[in-house]
Amino acid sequence: MELVQFNKNGGPVSIDVDIANANVWSYIYASDLTFTNKSSTGNPSHHILGLPVNLDDDINSWDIRLGNIGTSDITATVTITWKQDGHILNVWTQPVDVPAGAATKVSDDALLDA
């Protein structure tokens, strides 16, 4: 459970989702808006959560799914970085072991506080 504190008088809060060492993945990030992405889109994983006035005392939850279609086990690294006005508010990062030929999911939540 993460605590993400931000400036209530600042600009919008955003997240960057980075998934390294896995070529098959998808995620869902649930806030007031729901953000999804997957490895097949090739799009950058940057999302704007919204203005501070709408985020205070809110809960955000996310599930990141990783697939390993190879024949060797892998250890992927998933990272979410919360930013406001160019400043890093918080970083959540996890190593995730994915056995060969399998899929797994890593999840967590955050309390956002102004």
Partner 1 sequence: MKKIIFIFITGLIATSLYGQNPDSITIDDYYVDFAVPDITAFSILDINSSDVVRPGNIKELAVGIQNYIDADGSLKPGLAIEIAPYRLMAKALKVRSAWEQNKSFKNLQISIGTAQGDSSNLLAAWGINWTPIDRTDPVASKALQNFFANYLANRDSIANQMSFAGQRRKHLQDVNQFINSLSTLAGSALSPAEKVAILQYFSGGYRNRLLRYDSTDNQLYAIALKDSVVQEMVRLNIAINNTQDQTLSTLIAQNAKLTFTEQKEEKEFEKSFSEALKREKKIFIEENWNRLVVQFKTGSKYNSAENSVKDLALLNWRVFAGVAGRVPGLRNSNSTFAKRSQVIYQVSYINYKEKSMSLNWEFSTGGRLLLGKADKRLSAEFLYSQASLRGETTEKSEYIRYTIGGEMKINDGLWLELAVGGQKFLEGNDDARVVPQFGLKYAIQKKSRF
1 binds partner 1 (CB under 8 A): yes
Q: What does the block give as tokens for 89? A: 């508010």
Measured at the CA of 109, the angle between CA 106 and CA 112, to 5 degrees, comes to 150
The Cα–Cα gap between 103 and 61 comes to 20
Residue type, 69: I
- For the CB of residue 61, give the shortest distance to partner 1 in the complex, in Å: 4
Among 14, 30, 50, 81, binds partner 1 (CB under 8 A): 30
Of 83 and 112, the one with the shorter C-beta distance to partner 1 is: 112
**Three-class secondary structure of residue 82 per DSSP:** strand
Residues that bind partner 1 (CB under 8 A): 1-3, 5, 20-21, 23-26, 28-31, 34, 36, 38-40, 57-63, 65-67, 69-71, 101-109, 111, 113
